Amino acid sequence: MFNLCFIVLCRIFSNRDDPLNVPLPREDQLKNRLQAESIYTEGTSVLESTQTIALSEHLAKGYPAADRTDQCTNFLACQPNDACKAGNTCSKAYLHTLIKCNNWQVDNPTMTSCNLTIQCVARQAGLSCMAAIPTICNCPNQWEVGSFACSKKCVREQKVALEEAGCNVNQLALSLARIPARSTEFMNGAECRRNTNNTGGACACVSATRCSLCTTGTHYRVAGECIPCPQNPWMIIVGAILGIFFMCIGMRELDKRKFNLAFVSIGWDYFQVLALFADADIKWPPVLKSLFRMLSFFNIDIDIVAPECLVPDLPYSDKYFATMIMPLGVAAVLFMSWCGNIFWDKCIQNRKISSGKAKIMAARLISSFLLGMYFMYLMITRRALDIFNCNPVVPDDGFTYTHFTSINCDGKCFVVFCPLLVLLLLCA
């Protein structure tokens, strides 16, 4: 449990030239140890910045001979819980680029030797970059004290030399910030680990931190969990488009026959509510859960076409904004159909359109738009409020997490989404 707090302390007091490293009398050391223990045991699960600094100072004074590093181990729970397996590994659906990276290493055995993790991250740039990094950075081995801080300093101060060696400096900086490798950069999803015979290091492929990302190409995230991709995702997209097309034709035919479309909305509402059960925290039978997910079509849910299976690195923001602008897309299509109808009658058929007929046509299109908004309202509202759906993990680490994940979202996504959300809620 102590490592949970000590992450920040290691970074603050990793300099051995710090005056706090001057040994104090034994009695003063014991006092500082007791004060550090008091701050840690009496504080909350997440210490404030002033408490963290005070705790680190007392630890440095109380244990002057301690071997302090620039990295400390921290153990956190996965979300969902079944994403993690025993032995600090991820389950099959949460491996991210691990499988592709391992296959690549089998085909490229000459690019596995390393001394620093940034060498493994630079493998996409080629052997020249990997070989140049130890010489340019001159850092301790990855498993030695000071390696991480030295690597960060090298990327900041030796940018020109690294670029001349063919390295992608931005990629190295992102890896030091613990940003997972993208699906197109799967060979970079590795870290340098010491060989068991102490003869150097080797790149070992790893999953995303806390098993937070789905296995690339085989799984995608829905309602906070990774599920298998459909075998033919393109067919689902084609089927969804055809379904909407034939649904529009059917609604038009019903309207021609003066059928009350309110009866359609009753059945539509029923299927929309059933689709919501798929997101409930209940262990549904697999067949029933698959049925609920199929009914997501009635919610006009983008996830029904499994976009991440076709574009693995699709940012969540793209899905978010695509859902938000659906009403504008529907309005644009209806307006184009109105213009097209007028063009056909006046320019092709040479018919004279009365103002009354034009008003009737416009009224029908407006009615169609409002009906479409009625069908889309539930999904748009759910997506708009997704950023507020934050929950703690078990055991609680003092933070709350959304049920969606995105490499592009580093915790500041709320700043991007919030203005649009406020506008949508005002319009609703």
Per-residue pLDDT of the chain (428 residues; tens, 9 = 90+): 333 333 333 433 444 444 445 678 888 888 888 888 888 777 655 666 577 777 778 888 888 777 666 666 666 777 777 888 877 788 898 988 899 999 999 998 888 889 888 888 888 888 888 888 888 988 888 888 788 888 888 998 888 888 888 888 888 888 888 888 888 888 888 888 888 877 788 899 988 888 888 898 888 888 778 888 888 777 777 877 787 778 777 777 776 777 776 677 788 888 888 888 877 777 888 888 888 888 887 888 888 888 888 888 888 888 888 888 888 888 888 888 778 777 777 777 676 766 666 677 777 778 778 888 888 888 888 888 877 777 777 767 667 777 777 776 655 555 555 555 556 555 55
Cβ distance 81 to 27 under 8 Å? Answer: no
The residues, ordered by sequence, that sit 6+ positions from 227 with a Cβ below 8 Å of its Cβ are: 93, 219, 220, 221
Task: Using the structure block, give the residue that is written with the tokens 């995230």.
Answer: 221
Q: What pLDDT was estimated at residue 267?
A: 81
What's the CA gap between 50 and 39, in Å, rounded? 11
Q: Which amino acid is at 302?
A: I
What's the CA gap between 65 and 338, in Å, rounded? 80
pTM of this structure: 0.71
What's the CA gap between 57 and 361, in Å, rounded? 76
The residues, ordered by sequence, that sit 6+ positions from 386 with a Cβ below 8 Å of its Cβ are: 320, 402, 403, 404
Q: State both tokens at 84.
A: 């993690």
What's the CA gap between 395 and 305, in Å, rounded? 34
| Cis ω before 80 (30° cut-off from 0) | yes
Taken as a whole, the chain contains a residue count of 428
Q: State both tokens at 139.
A: 């850092």
Cβ distance 214 to 308 under 8 Å? Answer: yes
First vs last C-alpha separation in the chain: 47
Strand partners, 225: 222
What's the CA gap between 65 and 63, in Å, rounded? 6
